[in-house]
Structure 1
Amino acid sequence: MTEMYLYSFAWQKDEYELSRLEMRTFFNFHVEGNVLMSQKKVEPSRSPYMRLRLDILLEGNTFEQLVETAKQLQLGERTFKIHCLNNSRDAIEPALNRTIRNEYMLQLSYAIEAEPDLEQPDIVLGLAIHDGTFYLGELVAGESVWLKHMQKPEMYSTALSTRDARAIVNIAAPYPDGLKIIDPCCGIGTVLVEAMSMGIHIEGRDMNKRVVWGSRINLRHFGYEPNVEIGPIEEADEGYDVAIIDMPYNLFTHISSELQQSIITNARRIAKRVVIVTIETMDDKIHHANLTIKDRAVLKKGKFERQVLICE
């Protein structure tokens, strides 16, 4: 049987486009709703929008069929409990009332040849009904890791939120193993912290000494060894797989059009793939740097908008 995973997502209204862009980079397609099925295995704590992953063990066209197959489930000495995901909190449709959920969980518990433990089970089995099919699998819940990074020793009013930064790192490098990644305009290190918290090796640099010092302080505060250099992107060496360029500061710093072009052109020089975050439309500058925009999204915060562009 081919391994299959069910994912559940949640997002704020203004985050919809960014959540779909992240979804496309992970899975090569997106769904309009909040449930996605895929053969690709992604750790749900990586994404600020992914609530859970169900590692499917059994499925049935009817509940009775699922119960019959559950009798063959081998858990060994592990204890278990069952959690039905078709409820208002987990938001998988159709929502079932508590009486029906409890009855389903009870019947499955009787069918499984293992010891139930509602307090401290070795494994949590998730029951989900999606598109008319009944699924049972190991439940892996996501953790909101980025919330721990919101309060930094060094703050910068125009920096990306930790939630947005985490999504942008995933968009830049959904499968980062073996990749060489740089944030050459790293500011106080919001992107660096999120990347490192996911175990992603990343280098940083910035031409502003003050913010480089701030990024080093922030990284050490969260237990990460900073790899951040002082200097403009023009001095960065070539040979990176991915560069993440956050340019929101243009609203607050009188940066010239020529410098904007230089940043994008040098990003193209040093990296094969460039993810650009900008509050201005920069399509012409991107094309002038011989980059092609492969995908994009608009991230909204009230009236404030950022464009997120994947370029190669």
Structure 2
Amino acid sequence: MNNSRQPAFIYTYAYNEAERSLCHLEMRSFFDKDTETKILKSFIKIDPSRSPFMKGRLEVLAEGDKVEEIISQAPNFGSEKETNKVIFLKINDRQGKDKVENAERLRIERAIGSDMQGNFDLQNPDQLFAVVPFEGRWYFGLYTKSEPIWFNHMKKPREYSTALSTRVARAVANIAVPHPKGIQAIDPCCGIGTVLVEALSMGIDIVGRDINPLVCEGSRENIAYFGLTGDVRKSAIEDIEEMYDVAIIDLPYNLYTNASWEDQFTILKHARRIAKKVVIVTIESMDDRLNTVGLHITDRCITKKQQFTREIVVCQ
């Protein structure tokens, strides 16, 4: 049995094909890599409830070449003062002819759980543990389920039909600020605050600005409705003087208004001026325009909503 000295984490994902590109960009933002297997190992610790695509996180306590190595170490885990439950993660890279069938999964769960310290409680355990095969090895550890916090934000007092969906807004906030400590962010065209609500609910330090006083009022109402506190003020982007680590810009202008390239140029030019990193949501390709204002694309993805496609572009 080889116990890892450096904390390691295994994350499992669930997404459909339409969400794949967005989810993979979020993965790369968190971990600097992505995967098609929907299971990923990293030494980076992320709260799984941040992502709309994560199912959960296993904090590795033990690993081995065979599951028997995990079972033999079961008495070392758990506590006599707490109840526990062990689950076999169904999302793993053992698929096809190598798939671990249900009967074997149940056997492994029982073998580990029955030998652990404390009582085994299937309904309401004090501690939840998980076991999973991944890349030819077996891993066991504490398991944290993802809570769909974003789902509670879907119904807002103020809504626009053109606003980003809550899931997309949450992913965009993660892409912009994957590691919030010490990062100051701004949404200078915040609208009714869909991105702000998601970012603030994850503890991201972000402020909102918009040239329209009515949408600023709507944004403040939405933020307060979910018990959050945020700084939202009326301001044109060209009047913003403070510097930020990252700016998030949603640019659905040409589809719904008569905003010209000059208007977009102004927004992009000043976004580059006030932020070191800029994440842009657009309904049209604008690589040449971004280059014109000195924004260099470092990553990108697409996301679909009903009849049209948005592109999310990360720039430095």
TM over 0.5: yes
**Aligned pair 1:40/2:44, yes or no?**
yes
Alignment partners' CA distance in 2, 1:223 and 1:30: 34
| Local SS of the residue matching 1:71 | helix
Alignment of 1:112-151 (within 5 A): 112-151=116-155
User: What amino acid sits opposite 1:189 in the alignment?
Assistant: G
| 1:169-189 superposed Cα distances (whole Å, 9 cap, x missing partner) | 000000011111100000000
Deviation (angstroms), 1:74? 5.3
Deviation (angstroms), 1:76? 5.2
In structure 1, runs of 5+ residues without a counterpart are: none
Q: Which residue of 1 aligns with 2:240?
A: 236
Q: Which residue of 1 aligns with 2:100?
A: 96
Aligned 8 A contact 2:37 2:93 in 1: no
Percent of residue pairs bearing the same amino acid type: 44
Aligned pair partner of 1:281 in 278, 285, 309: 285
User: What amino acid sits opposite 2:118 in the alignment?
Assistant: A
Q: Which residue of 1 aligns with 2:70?
A: 66
**Aligned pair 1:111/2:106, yes or no?**
no
Aligned 8 A contact 1:14 1:301 in 2: no
User: What amino acid sits opposite 1:217 in the alignment?
Assistant: E
User: What amino acid sits opposite 2:40 in the alignment?
Assistant: L
- Calculate the aligned-residue CA RMSD, in Å: 1.5
**Aligned pair 1:12/2:13, yes or no?**
no
Q: Which residue of 1 aligns with 2:182?
A: 178
Deviation (angstroms), 1:32? 1.8
Tell me which moved more, 262-271 or 59-68: 59-68
Aligned 8 A contact 2:92 2:132 in 1: no
Deviation (angstroms), 1:249? 3.3
Count of residue pairs the alignment pairs up? 309
Q: Which residue of 2 aligns with 1:221?
A: 225
Alignment partners' CA distance in 2, 1:201 and 1:41: 19
Alignment partners' CA distance in 2, 1:11 and 1:172: 20
| 1:41-75 superposed Cα distances (whole Å, 9 cap, x missing partner) | 10000001111100111112112121112233353
Alignment partners' CA distance in 1, 2:207 and 2:146: 26
**Aligned pair 1:266/2:270, yes or no?**
yes
Alignment partners' CA distance in 2, 1:306 and 1:205: 22
Aligned pair partner of 2:30 in 22, 26, 30: 26
User: What amino acid sits opposite 1:2 in the alignment?
Assistant: Q
Alignment partners' CA distance in 1, 2:115 and 2:142: 16
User: What amino acid sits opposite 1:8 in the alignment?
Assistant: T
Aligned 8 A contact 1:58 1:70 in 2: no
Tell me which moved more, 40-49 or 106-115: 106-115
Aligned 8 A contact 2:92 2:134 in 1: no
**Aligned pair 1:299/2:303, yes or no?**
yes
User: What amino acid sits opposite 1:163 in the alignment?
Assistant: R
Q: Which residue of 2 aligns with 1:210?
A: 214
| Local SS of the residue matching 1:202 | strand
User: What amino acid sits opposite 1:164 in the alignment?
Assistant: V
Alignment partners' CA distance in 2, 1:263 and 1:70: 58
User: What amino acid sits opposite 2:94 in the alignment?
Assistant: E
Alignment partners' CA distance in 2, 1:18 and 1:99: 35
Alignment partners' CA distance in 2, 1:139 and 1:166: 23
In structure 2, runs of 5+ residues without a counterpart are: none
**What TM-score comes out, normalization by structure 1 length?**
0.95
Deviation (angstroms), 1:211? 0.9
Aligned 8 A contact 2:200 2:230 in 1: no
Alignment partners' CA distance in 1, 2:275 and 2:180: 14
| Local SS of the residue matching 2:108 | helix
| 1:218-249 superposed Cα distances (whole Å, 9 cap, x missing partner) | 11111122311112111111311110000113
Deviation (angstroms), 1:115? 2.2
Deviation (angstroms), 1:301? 2.5
Aligned 8 A contact 1:8 1:92 in 2: no
Q: Which residue of 1 aligns with 2:83?
A: 79
Aligned 8 A contact 1:92 1:128 in 2: no
Alignment partners' CA distance in 2, 1:126 and 1:92: 15
| 1:122-167 superposed Cα distances (whole Å, 9 cap, x missing partner) | 1011111223322111110001111111111111011000100000
**What TM-score comes out, normalization by structure 2 length?**
0.94
| 1:274-304 superposed Cα distances (whole Å, 9 cap, x missing partner) | 0010001111221111111111111123441
**Aligned pair 1:57/2:61, yes or no?**
yes
Alignment partners' CA distance in 1, 2:9 and 2:80: 22
